Chain A
Amino acid sequence: MSNQKNQIGKRNRRIRYKSCAFLTVKLIILGMFAATTLVPFFWVLMSSFKTNSEIYGQPFSLPHHYQIDAFLQAWQGGGLSRSLSNSLFYCAASVVLVLLLSSTTSYRFAKIRPNKALYAFFSFGLLIPLHAVLIPLNVIYSRLGMGNTRSALIIAYAVSNLSMSIFILTAFMRNLPDELLQAAEIDGCSGLQAFVRVAFPLSKPALATAGMLAFVNCWNDLLLGMTICSKENLRTISLAVYNLRASFSDDYNVLTAGITIMIVPAVVIYTLFQEQVIQGMTAGALKG
C-alpha cells in the first residue's frame, strides 16, 4: 500500500517537474510575443521625448533628456489641440446618441413589442461594410446641406454603430426580470417611467459594453472623418495625425508625439474599462 503511494508520489513529482519546465517555456514564448506587441508603442513614446538627431543616431536608446518640445509643436503647429477636442466631442456626442437610440429601440424589442422582422432589419446593418454606403452617404449629406458639419459626422458614427448596439442591448434586456418591470408599473410607473427608472439603470453593464465599442470605433475612424469633415477646423484626430506626416515629414519627434497624443486616450479607456472594451469589440463573435 505505502509502496504504491510512494510510486504515485514520485510520478506526481516527475509530472510536476516536467510541467514546471513546460510552463517556463510557455511563459517565455508568451512573453516574447507580448514584447513584440509592446515594443513599437514603447519606441513611439520614447522617441516623442527625444530630439531628432537622437532618434536618427540612436533609435532605440532612452532619451538623454526628456523634452516636451515635440508635443508642443504637434499640439500647436500640427493642430492637434483642435482636432483632439473635435474628436472627443464627436465621440462623446455619438456615443450618447447611439445609446439613446439603441436603448429605447432594444427595450421595445425586448420588453414592449417584440418584432422579429424589424429586429432582423436592424441586424442587417451588421453585414454592411461602410465602404458600400460611403459615397451615397456623402452625396445625401451634401444634398441636405450637411456637408462638412459636426452633426453629419456624429450621425454617421451613431448610425454605423447602431445595429451592433441594438444587438448587444436587446440580448441583455431580454434577461431583465419581467416581474421587476411589472412591479414598477403596479407602483404607478408608466411604461416610459419603467424604462427610465428601472430598465435603463439595470442595463448599465450592456450600455457600458455598447458605449465602449462605439467610442473606440469613433476614435479610430479615418474614412468617415476624412470624407464628411475635411474642413480644417472640423478635422478628426485621425486626419490630423495623418496630415502631420505631410507637414513634419522629417521630424520624427513631432510625428511620434502626435501618435502618442492620439493613442493615449484609447489606452486610458482600455486600461480603465478593459473588460467592457473587449466585450464590446468581440460582442458579435461571443454572443452571436
Chain B
Amino acid sequence: MISPRSGKSARKRHERALALAFTLPSLVLFVMFMIVPIFGALYLSFTKWSGAGAIKYIGISNYTNLLHNRDFWISFRNSVILIVLHLGFQLTSALFFSYLLYRTKPGMRFFRSVFFLPSVISATAIGVMFSLLFNADLGPINFVLHELGLHDWALPWLSNKTTALLVVSFIIIWQFIGYHVVIILAGMKAIPEEIIESAIIDGSNTVVLFFRIVYPLIKDMLQVSLIFMVTGCLKAFDHSYVMTMGGPGVSSSFLAVFMYKQAYSRQKLGLGSAAGLVILLLAFLCTRVINWMFYHKDEESVT
C-alpha cells in the first residue's frame, strides 16, 4: 500500500518534471536564438569584422564612427521624419476613421475588415506594387498626370531625393491606418453606452462628444497605438528596401535599412551590430517616454 504522503510527493515530483519538460525546449531555443544574439550583437559592436577571418576588437570605435557617419545621420533623420509623418497623418486618420466608424451601425464590420486588409498583406508585395504604380516612365500615376496635361507633376517619384522619402513614408502610413483604426475602435467600443447617451441628451454635438468624452476615455488605446507606431517606424525596413533600396543614395533609407546595408552590402558586421543596438535602445527609450507622457497626464487629470 502506498502511503498518502509518498503519493503526494510522487505527484509533486511528477509535477516538477512536467514543468521542466514543458519549459526547457522553449527556454533553450529562446536563449540560443534570441538572448545569446543580443549579447552577440553587443560583442560584435565592439569589433571590426567582415564575416570572415579574424574578429578584431576595436573598443567603442563603431559607436564613435556612427556619430560621424553622414549616412547614419541621414537615416536617423529620415526615421524621425517617418515618426513625425506617422503622428501627423496616420494617428489623425486612424482617429478620424475610427470615430466615423464608431456608432455607425450599417457596414461597420465590412469597413473594419476592409481597412484592416492591407496590414495583413506583405510589405514586399506592397512595395513592389507601388514601385510599379510610381514608376517614372511606365507607371500609371505618371500616365494619368500626363493625360491630364500636368506634365510638370509627373516626377521621377522614386529617384528624386525628396519625393522618394515622402512616397515611401506615405505608403507605410497608408498600409497601417486600418491597423490603428481597429485598436482605437476597440477602445471606443469599451466606453459604456450610458456615458455617450447622457452626453448626447445633454446636447453635446459630435465634435464636443469626441473631445470631452471619447478622447479622454481612449487614452490607453492611444498610448498602445503610439508605442506600436513609433517602434514600428524605428524598425521600418521592407518598404524602403524594396522600393528604393534606401536611395537615391541614402535619401529614403531608415535606420534599419542603414543597418542592413552596412552589414550585408559592405560586410561591416561590427558597425551594423552597433546600428542594430541603437535601434533597440531607441525603441526602449521611445516606449519609456510615451509611457511617461501618458502617466503624467493621468496624474494631472486626477488632481
Q: How far is the CB of B65 from chain A (nearest CB, A)?
A: 16
Report B-chain residues with C-beta under 8 Å of the C-beta of A135: 40-41, 44, 263, 269, 272-273, 276
1/0 per position for B34-60, CB-CB distance to A under 8 A?
Answer: 101111110110000001000000000
Q: From the candidates A34, A104, A129, name the one contacting B26 in the complex (CB within 8 A).
A: A104
Interface residues of A in 231-245 (CB under 8 A from B): 237-238, 241-242, 244-245
1/0 per position for A134-157, CB-CB distance to B under 8 A?
Answer: 111101100000000000000110
Complex alpha-carbon distance, A37 and B115, angstroms: 7
Choose, from B68-76, B237-245, B294-302, the stretch at the interface. B237-245
Q: How far is the CB of A70 from chain B (nearest CB, A)?
A: 13
B292 at interface, CB cutoff 8 A: no
A5 at interface, CB cutoff 8 A: no
Number of residues of chain B lying within 8 A (CB) of chain A: 87
- The answer to whether A108 touches B36 (Cβ under 8 A) is no
Report B-chain residues with C-beta under 8 Å of the C-beta of A159: 29-30, 33-34
Interface residues of B in 262-303 (CB under 8 A from A): 263-264, 269, 272-273, 276-277, 279-280, 283-284, 287
Interface residues of A in 59-79 (CB under 8 A from B): 59-60
1/0 per position for B4-25, CB-CB distance to A under 8 A?
Answer: 0000000000111011011101
B97 at interface, CB cutoff 8 A: yes
Report B-chain residues with C-beta under 8 Å of the C-beta of A270: 117, 120
Complex alpha-carbon distance, A14 and B284, angstroms: 53
- The answer to whether B122 touches A128 (Cβ under 8 A) is no
Complex alpha-carbon distance, A113 and B156, angstroms: 61
Report A-chain residues with C-beta under 8 Å of the C-beta of B279: 129, 131-132
Report B-chain residues with C-beta under 8 Å of the C-beta of A285: 183, 186, 221, 224-225, 228
B63 at interface, CB cutoff 8 A: no
Complex alpha-carbon distance, A162 and B125, angstroms: 25
B132 at interface, CB cutoff 8 A: yes
Report A-chain residues with C-beta under 8 Å of the C-beta of B111: 30, 34
The 10 closest A-B pairs by CB, nearest first: A136-B40, A59-B140, A133-B37, A136-B37, A132-B280, A220-B122, A104-B22, A108-B22, A238-B124, A105-B26
The interface of chain A, by Cβ under 8 A from chain B, is 23, 26-27, 29-30, 33-34, 36-38, 40-41, 43-44, 55-56, 59-60, 100-102, 104-105, 107-108, 112-113, 118, 122, 125, 127-137, 139-140, 155-156, 158-160, 162-163, 166, 190-192, 195, 216, 219-220, 222-223, 227, 237-238, 241-242, 244-245, 250, 252, 255-256, 258-259, 262-263, 266-267, 269-270, 274, 277-278, 281-282, 284-286, 288
The interface of chain B, by Cβ under 8 A from chain A, is 14-16, 18-19, 21-23, 25-27, 29-30, 32-34, 36-41, 43-44, 51, 97, 100-101, 104, 106-107, 111, 113-125, 128-133, 138, 140, 143-144, 174, 178-179, 182-183, 186, 221, 224-225, 228, 231, 234-235, 237-238, 241-242, 256, 259-260, 263-264, 269, 272-273, 276-277, 279-280, 283-284, 287
